[in-house]
Amino acid sequence: MLLLHERWFVEDSRFPVQFDQALTSRTWMPLGIAIVVTALAVVVWRARNRRDIVPGPIELGMKWKNYQDLLSWMPLVIGVHTAVTLLVSGIGLRLFVPSLELPENFLGALLGLVEIAVALSLIYGALTRFGAIALAILWLGGAILFGPLRLVEHALFLGIAFFLFAAGRGPLAFDMSLERLHRPVERLMPYAVPVLRVLTGLSIAVVAFTEKLWNQPMGLAFLAEHPFNFFPAIGLAAIGDPEFLFIAGIVELTFGILLMSGVFVRLFTLAIWLPFNLTLPMLGWPELVGHLPIYGIMGLLLIWGEARPESDRALMEGVAEHDAGQMRAGGSGGAGDAGGAGDAGGAGDASGSAASGGSADSGGSAR
């Protein structure tokens, strides 16, 4: 129930967002709790000299070269995770998620086709930056078609577009054959992961309001079909579905704001990993496919941690190392060809000399 999109599993049109709740305790109480928790986290983080509680790969003993290599693969991971979601959504005439149904007309078919094209671009790593631009345009088109709020719920796709535009698609990409389109844009890299992290946190925080705190009827309808309220089972029968929904909204909003703050990134990413996965066995494929991009983002954040210049440098150096390896492979192939030609030439010269020498000797004998 925590970090869950109820809208994917109910009849969305029956449950409009109740904006009149914006000025009630269902807004200021959760928001106050989330802000206080985040402020405390920031104070502790600064007291620890901005060091995360959960160690990263380097702190665990990974060599710098291996860290470079690991980070260089993350654009591919995020690209493929996102591509699966886009491919399934495009084929199903949905925009990004099950609840954004595209119209069955030319416009809907065109948007679905663009989703499929972007998915293939990300899978193959072919013209990835153009695919990232197309993904951002899709998001903006969705904001016009469905309204801004419905797309802000999925602002993470805008973050993915920016990340892939800045970082490229990395190794194993058709773009590598062009020798430049797959490389990170150095001046954008300091912003690539922070923008992705903030927009992902924003998505989580907005959904806390639009599907829980400001939409209790939707949440209760979902719980009637999927009884995820575990409190009565552990002896807290006083916490019914309305209270459970309120608690879930507070937790979701708090995690979203914490993620946007950029403190203890690894710790809070690990903390939300379990709630994200608990619902998978019960909600099945729509839940898995819809959340694949977030799984990729969480993997990146666990490795990356807080925004630091060395992480940007490691990713760029890792991609450059793949380039160098490809060039060395190409160079050794060329050297082999050249060596083969040289050997043939040398053999020819030797044969020619031997033949000449033999002729001379014969001539001498005849004389």
pLDDT of residue 324: 60
Task: Answer with the residue of higher pLDDT: 95 or 363.
Answer: 95
- Statement: residue 120 has pLDDT above 90: yes
Percent of the chain with pLDDT over 70: 85
Any domain includes 227: yes
Angle at 292 between CA 138 and CA 214, to 5 degrees: 70
Q: What is the pLDDT of residue 364?
A: 40
Tell which wins on pLDDT, 306 or 44. Answer: 44
Average pLDDT over residues 142-169: 95
Domain assignment present for residue 122? The answer is yes
CA distances from 288 to 159, 171, 257, 283, 300 (A): 20, 26, 24, 8, 18
What band does 126 get if pLDDT is binned at 50, 70 and 90? very high
More confident residue, 233 or 85: 85
pLDDT at residue 79, rounded to an integer = 96
333 lies in a domain? no
Residue range 211-226: mean pLDDT, rounded: 91
pLDDT at 39 over 70: yes
Instruction: Write the pLDDT tens digit of every residue in 266-279.
Output: 999 998 887 778 88
Q: Average pLDDT of 291-297?
A: 94
Asked if residue 352 has pLDDT above 50, the reply is no
Q: Does residue 170 form part of some domain? A: yes
Q: Does residue 341 surpass a pLDDT of 60?
A: no
Confidence of residue 176 (pLDDT cuts 50, 70, 90): confident
Which comes out higher in pLDDT, residue 347 or 134? 134
What pLDDT, on the 0 to 100 scale, is given for residue 359? 40
Residue 183, domain extent? 6-328
Sign of CA dihedral 25, 2, 101, 81: positive
Q: How confident is the model at residue 328 (pLDDT cuts 50, 70, 90)?
A: low
pLDDT interval class at 319 (50, 70, 90): confident
Query: Do the domain assignments include residue 163?
Result: yes
290 found inside a domain:
yes
Confidence of residue 367 (pLDDT cuts 50, 70, 90): very low
Whole-number pLDDT of residue 275: 76
Look at the chain and report how many structural domains it folds into: 1
Share of the chain above pLDDT 90, in %: 56
pLDDT surpasses 50 at 40: yes
In a domain, 267, yes or no: yes
Read off the pLDDT band of 338 (50, 70, 90). Answer: very low
- What does the pLDDT read at residue 349? 46
Residue 79 lies in a domain: yes
Residues 314 and 8: their CA atoms lie apart, in Å, by 38
Is it the case that residue 202 has pLDDT exceeding 70?
yes
Q: Rounded mean pLDDT of the chain?
A: 85
Residue 89 predicted with pLDDT over 90 = yes
Tell me which of 115 and 65 has the higher pLDDT: 115
Tokens representing residue 66 in the block: 């291996």
Q: Which tens digits make up the pLDDT trace of 54-80?
A: 988 888 899 988 988 888 899 999 999
SS (H, E, C) the chain: CCCCCHHHHCCHHHCCCCHHHHHCHHHHHHHHHHHHHHHHHHHHHHHCCCCCCCCCCCCCCCCHHHHHHHHHCHHHHHHHHHHHHHHHHHHCCECCCCCCECCCCHHHHHHHHHHHHHHHHHHHCCCHHHHHHHHHHHHHHHHHHHCHHHHHCCCHHHHHHHHHHHHCCCCCCHHHHHCCCCCCCCCCHHHHHHHHHHHHHHHHHHHHHHHHHCCHHHHHHHHHHCCCCCCHHHCCCCCCHHHHHHHHHHHHHHHHHHHHHCCCHHHHHHHHHHHHHHCHHHHCHHHHHHHHHHHHHHHHHHHHCCCCHHHHHHHHHHHHHHHHHHHHHHHHHHHHHHHHHHHHHHHHHHHHHHHHHHHHHHHHHHC
Q: Is the pLDDT of residue 354 over 60?
A: no
More confident residue, 83 or 9: 83
